[in-house]
């Protein structure tokens, strides 16, 4: 079975919820293990490896050590897949970038701030080449299985670039705005089957922006539904502060 792809799983700055979601494939885990050899996964196993075919990487980069490690990981792998919103677009960690970094460090550690080096939280793609994305917070499980299957079959995974609204309409959900709530679905990338609107919550934007978002239009709708302009941008920044930097007109 030497030709099974060798898979490694790594984590940087994040909550490890995406990795946990991989252990949560209870119904598929044994099938997954039949098709690949997992050669390194610190959260679940002791083994370490020197090279691999596919690396799944969770978390954003936020310390000098992260930058060193991601460069090492990139050299050791043929394919690198970013897992979840922290890795793909910086995720919630990006919110700290909206304030001066020295101010943030001072607040948290006071005089001890230089004990713990920190950088602005960055998506993986700002430091190394990322081949594919599995988006979401936590990473969308159905999308992971699609990307995983495509890679194991030697196919090219396809990343959706239409808005959550498309999937929400296909599910025949009542529009979230019609319920007196706000929603970010119009500018957020689909692929989650509009899960949050389908269980009564608004789309909070975890899967990142579509490639050409109409942000002014989004701002107008949010303001029309009761948010201030500032509050509208705060809601958009929750997972997407890195992407939105400098885009507010």
Partner 1 sequence: MSQELSTTTRANLDIKVKHLTRVEGHGNIVVNMKEGVLEKARLEIVEAPRYFEAMLKGRSFHEAAIITSRICGICSLGHQITSLKATEQALGLEVSEQTVLLRKLLIHGATMQSNILHAYFLAAPDFLKVGSVFPLVGTHPEIVIRALRMKRLANDIGDVVSGRAVHPITPVPGGFTRIPTAGELKELKRRLLEDMYPDLLATVETLKSLAGAIPQFERETEYISLRNDDDYAMYDGDICSTDTGRVPDTEYLEMSNEFIVPHSTSKHAKVNRSSFMVGALARWNNNHDRLCELAHTAAGALGLEPGCCNPYMNTIAQVVESAHCAIESIAIIDRLLGDGLKDEQPNQEPTKYGTGIGATEVPRGILYHEYTYDRQGRVTAANCIIPTGQNLANIDDDMKKLVPEIIDKSKEEITLHLEMLVRAYDPCISCSVHMLDVDFIE
- Residue 41 near partner 1 by CB under 8 A: yes
- Residue 135 near partner 1 by CB under 8 A: no
Min. distance of Cβ 118 from partner 1 in angstroms? 6
Min. distance of Cβ 155 from partner 1 in angstroms? 26
Tokens of 66: 């992260």
- Residue 128 near partner 1 by CB under 8 A: no
Nearest of 150, 225, 164 to residue 197 by alpha carbon: 164
Interface positions, 208-237, toward partner 1 (CB under 8 A): 231, 234-235
Query: Which of 31, 51, 102, 107: binder of partner 1 (CB under 8 A)?
Result: 107
Min. distance of Cβ 44 from partner 1 in angstroms? 6
Q: Report CA-CA distances (Å) from 182 to 153, 211, 225.
A: 40, 22, 7
Q: Which is nearer to partner 1, 22 or 163 (CB)?
A: 22
Question: Cα separation of 4 and 177, whole Å?
Answer: 48
- Residue 63 near partner 1 by CB under 8 A: yes
Question: Cα separation of 79 and 96, whole Å?
Answer: 30
Q: How many residues form the binding site for partner 1 (CB under 8 A)? A: 57
17: three-class secondary structure by DSSP: helix
Min. distance of Cβ 105 from partner 1 in angstroms? 8
Question: Cα separation of 184 and 206, whole Å?
Answer: 10
Min. distance of Cβ 23 from partner 1 in angstroms? 7
- Residue 73 near partner 1 by CB under 8 A: no
Q: Which stretch binds partner 1 (CB under 8 A): 29-37, 49-57, 73-81, 155-163?
A: 29-37
Min. distance of Cβ 40 from partner 1 in angstroms? 10
Question: Cα separation of 104 and 97, whole Å?
Answer: 9
Tokens of 138: 């936590």
Nearest of 41, 128, 140 to residue 85 by alpha carbon: 140
Q: Which is nearer to partner 1, 47 or 51 (CB)?
A: 47
* Residue 136 φ/ψ region, left for φ over 0, alpha for ψ in the -120 to 50 degree band, beta for the rest: left
Question: Cα separation of 31 and 48, whole Å?
Answer: 22
List the beta bridge partners of residue 11.
58
- Residue 172 near partner 1 by CB under 8 A: no
- Residue 175 near partner 1 by CB under 8 A: no
Nearest of 211, 209, 234 to residue 222 by alpha carbon: 234
Residues that bind partner 1 (CB under 8 A): 12-21, 23-24, 26-27, 29-30, 33, 38, 41-47, 62-63, 65-66, 91-93, 95-96, 98-99, 104-105, 107-109, 112, 115-116, 118, 137-138, 195-196, 199-201, 204, 231, 234-235, 238
């Amino acid at each position: 079975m030497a030709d099974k792809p060798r898979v490694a799983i790594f984590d940087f700055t994040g909550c490890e919820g995406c990795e946990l979601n991989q252990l949560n494939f209870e119904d598929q885990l044994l099938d997954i293990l039949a098709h690949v050899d997992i050669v390194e996964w610190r959260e679940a196993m002791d083994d370490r490896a020197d090279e691999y075919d596919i690396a799944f990487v969770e978390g954003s980069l936020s310390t000098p050590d992260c930058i060193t490690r991601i460069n090492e990981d990139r050299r050791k792998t043929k394919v690198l897949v970013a897992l979840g919103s922290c890795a793909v677009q910086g995720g919630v960690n990006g919110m700290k970038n909206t304030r001066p970094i020295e101010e943030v460090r001072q607040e948290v550690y006071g005089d001890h701030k230089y004990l713990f080096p920190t950088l602005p939280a960055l998506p993986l793609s700002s430091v190394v080449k990322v081949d594919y994305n599995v988006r979401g917070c936590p990473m969308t499980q159905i999308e992971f299985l699609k990307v995983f299957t495509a890679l194991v079959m030697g196919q090219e995974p396809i990343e959706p670039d239409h808005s959550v609204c498309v999937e929400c309409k296909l599910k025949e959900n009542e529009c979230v705005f019609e319920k007196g709530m706000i929603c970010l679905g119009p500018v957020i990338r689909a692929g989650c089957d509009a899960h949050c609107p389908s269980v009564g919550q608004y789309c909070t934007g975890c899967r990142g922006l579509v490639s050409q978002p109409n942000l002014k239009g989004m701002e107008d709708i949010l303001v029309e539904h009761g948010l201030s302009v500032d509050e509208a941008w705060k809601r958009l920044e929750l997972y997407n502060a890195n992407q939105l930097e400098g885009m507010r007109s």
